Amino acid sequence: MTDAAIAMTEEAGSQTLTITRRFAAPIERVYAAWANGEQIARWFGPPSVNCTVHEWDAQIDGRYALTMNHADGDKTDLGGVFREISSPERLVFTWTWGGDGPMAGRETLVTLDFEETGDETVLHLCHTLLPDEEWAQKHSMGWGACFDSFDTFLAS
């Protein structure tokens, strides 16, 4: 497992989650695994989740849509729009939950900054506009498990 740092802050009535994690892979490989929908489908989500990518157009104003298929049969739909692309340093996209749960339709923002450190890459994730600390905690656990899957994918 790679090292990680997690922080949560409150700003203007919403929560911001930041996670920094180091991956044992070059920046081009780490970035490509986020920018390519076929690769996303192979690792995105916690280890017990299978991801179906319906659309992944990683360009400014390009859309994405995916379904996380949980082992218990539940499904989680997510989608959004890419707002900023700077290969291989940065991806920014909206994050909107589908369905009819308490987060359905609420748009949040995810910023990924990729930092090259020799043969490794430090990934800085900032997830903003989360409604409260409870949702920031839930997303912290979700992103942490997702990064575990990503680490396994990169090692294969």
**Which pLDDT tens digits describe the chain residue by residue (156 residues)?**
455 566 666 665 689 999 999 999 999 999 999 999 999 999 999 989 999 999 999 999 999 999 999 999 999 999 999 999 999 999 999 999 998 888 889 999 999 999 999 999 999 999 999 998 898 899 999 999 999 999 999 999
Catalogue all structural domains in the chain, each as residue range(s) with its CATH number: 4-48+84-94+104-155 (3.30.530.20)
Find the distance separating the first CA and the last CA of the chain, reported in whole Å: 14
Cα dihedral 60/138/132/121 (nearest 10): -40
Q: What is the pTM of this model?
A: 0.91
**Angle 139-141-144 (CA atoms, 0-180°, nearest 5)?**
105
Q: Which two tokens stand for residue 61?
A: 């104003």
